[in-house]
Chain A
Amino acid sequence: MRLDLLSRLMAERAARRPAILVTQLATGAQRLVTPETLAADPLSADLRKALRTGKSGAVGEDADRAFLTVEVPPPRLAVIGAVHISQALAPLARVAGYDMVIIDPRTAFATAERFPDVRVIAEWPDQALPEVGLDPFTALIALTHDPKIDEPALEAGLNAGCFYVGALGSRRTHAKRLERLSARGLGSAALDRIHAPIGLDIGAVSPGEIAVAILAEVIGALRKDGPAMVRPEAAA
């Protein structure tokens, strides 16, 4: 293994950027592929799949056999709103292996007592999100029902290319939300990426059930579609 490639692989990982080290097994030749060089790589289809699953493995046959060492950032949930659903979501996220951070400027909600073992930031999204650092391997989940809190966060999530952006609220509420976000200058392609009403449609009623529906939808967005950078259309 080339030290320079290993060094770059670890640097990408530390920066929460995905990368794959490709080793041609017949020759030992190696190269590092990043989202920027993905489209031009001869193994791009295999590499995209590897970035969605996050799994290392061998691809190709005979002389073209190659091993992919895959480094994908651990997925995170940035949850706007220290609400009931967030309380139910926290243990589910931990079991599924998603780091979670909760942001809510309302200090009565955002307390350590209500959220043991979860990072809680009692600030407005505009202040907290730059510190959290939204990226394509983060899901943005807006649950406050308060446009002043949710909407700047949704905008930040769309602009950062979060693999999932979802917002709580009925279809009517969401229609009004889209009008306001549109007035803030967001285009229809971006707005179409918001999952609303949030969560898989399984008839969820209780906060716990809604949390399950949300997490299932997040997992589907990550594993079936992946962040925009790894989808085939990103090559165009």
Chain B
Amino acid sequence: MLSTEDDVLEAALRWRREGRAVALATVLETWGSAPRPVGSHLVIDAEGNFLGSVSGGCVEGEVVSEAADVIASGTPRILEFGVADETAWRVGLSCGGAIRVYVERVD
């Protein structure tokens, strides 16, 4: 079943209260035909479990791996993905769009 953005935030709250280490990713900006709108969320725990979507599947793997670093360091970071960045990033958006994603630890 598809989860709404509110479901994802509720999950972030619930997972954290259960004592799990949690990061939250949020789509800050989009350009072109980005698959998920601004404000879309992905919640990730330290084991790599996740709920929600920031790109419909294109870059979730990369966001989940970055989230592990953010959980470890506690420092938020901004990730950029797009076709123009293919040389700089290991993954891109096949749709031709570009997105900027904020990843933060839930403290």
Contact = CB atoms under 8 A, between A and B. Distances in A.
Nearest to A10: B13
Given A67-B26, A67-B28, A56 B39 contact: yes
Give the interface residue-count category, chain B.
20 to 34
A67 B41 CA distance: 13
Interface stretch (A1-9, A112-120, A125-133, A165-173): A1-9
Contact of B38 (A2, A3, A13, A56): A56
Nearest to B78: A25
A55 B102 contact: no
A55 B13 contact: no
A9 B9 contact: yes
B73 to A, nearest CB: 12
A57 interface: yes
A128 B102 CA distance: 44
Give the interface residue-count category, chain A.
10 to 19
A25 B13 CA distance: 21
B11 to A, nearest CB: 11
Interface in B82-107: 102, 104-107
Nearest to A2: B107
Interface in B1-20: 5-6, 9-10, 12-13, 16-17
B24 interface: yes
B9 A28 contact: no
A63 to B, nearest CB: 14
Contacts of A111: none
B18 to A, nearest CB: 12
A58 interface: yes
A23 B29 CA distance: 14
Nearest to A56: B39
B106 A3 contact: yes
A122 B24 CA distance: 45
Contacts of A56: 5, 26, 38-39
Contact of B9 (A2, A6, A58, A67): A6
A69 interface: yes
A13 B107 contact: no
Contacts of A55: 38-39
A40 to B, nearest CB: 25
Given A25-B78, A58-B28, A67-B26, A6 B106 contact: yes
A2 B104 CA distance: 10
Contact of A1 (B28, B38, B105): B105
A70 interface: yes
Given A3-B13, A3-B16, A25 B106 contact: no
A6 B6 contact: no
Interface in A154-170: none
Interface of B: 5-6, 9-10, 12-13, 16-17, 24, 26, 28-29, 38-39, 75-76, 78, 102, 104-107
28 contacts: A1-B12, A1-B104, A1-B107, A2-B106, A3-B13, A3-B16, A3-B17, A3-B106, A6-B13, A6-B16, A6-B106, A10-B9, A10-B10, A13-B6, A23-B104, A25-B28, A25-B78, A28-B104, A55-B38, A55-B39, A56-B5, A56-B38, A56-B39, A58-B29, A67-B26, A67-B28, A69-B39, A71-B6
